[in-house]
Amino acid sequence: MRPRDTTRRLRDATAAPPRRVRLQAGPELGGARVLDALAVLVPAAVGHAVPRAELRRAVVAGAVTVNGAAWRRPGEELPAGGARIEIALRAAYAGRALEAEEGETDAAGALAVLYEDEWVIAVAKPPGLLTHQSADARRPHLFGLVQEKLARRAGGDEGGLPYLGSHQRLDKDTSGVVLFAKARAANEGLARAFEGRDVEKVYVAVVGRPRQPLPDAWTCEAPLALVGSGKQAQMREAAGGQAARTEFRVLSRRHEALLVECRPQTGRKHQIRAHLAIAGAPIAGDVRYGGATHLGGVAVPRVLLHAAALNLPHPVSGRPLRLSCPLPADFRPFLGKRGVRSRAIYSGDSKKR
As a whole number of angstroms, the distance between CA 311 and CA 314 comes to 9
Would you state the torsion angle of the CA atoms of residues 138, 143, 147, 152, taken in this order, to the nearest 10 degrees?
70
Alpha helical stretches, state H, 281-340? none
As a whole number of angstroms, the distance between CA 176 and CA 225 comes to 26
As a whole number of angstroms, the distance between CA 77 and CA 73 comes to 9
Would you state the torsion angle of the CA atoms of residues 70, 71, 72, 73, taken in this order, to the nearest 10 degrees?
170
Q: How much of the chain is in helix, strand and coil states, percent to nearest 5?
A: 30, 30, 45
The type of residue at 145 is L
DSSP 150-211: HHHHTTSSTTSSPP-EE-----TT-EEEEEEESSGGGHHHHHHHHHTT--EEEEEEEEE--S
For residue 105, give the DSSP letter. Answer: B
As a whole number of angstroms, the distance between CA 162 and CA 4 comes to 58
As a whole number of angstroms, the distance between CA 64 and CA 189 comes to 45
The residues annotated with a catalytic role in the active site are: 171
156 close to 114: Cβ distance less than 8 angstroms: no
Count how many Cα atoms sit within 13 Å of the Cα of residue 209 in the half-sphere of its side chain: 6
For residue 327, give the DSSP letter. Answer: P
As a whole number of angstroms, the distance between CA 158 and CA 181 comes to 20
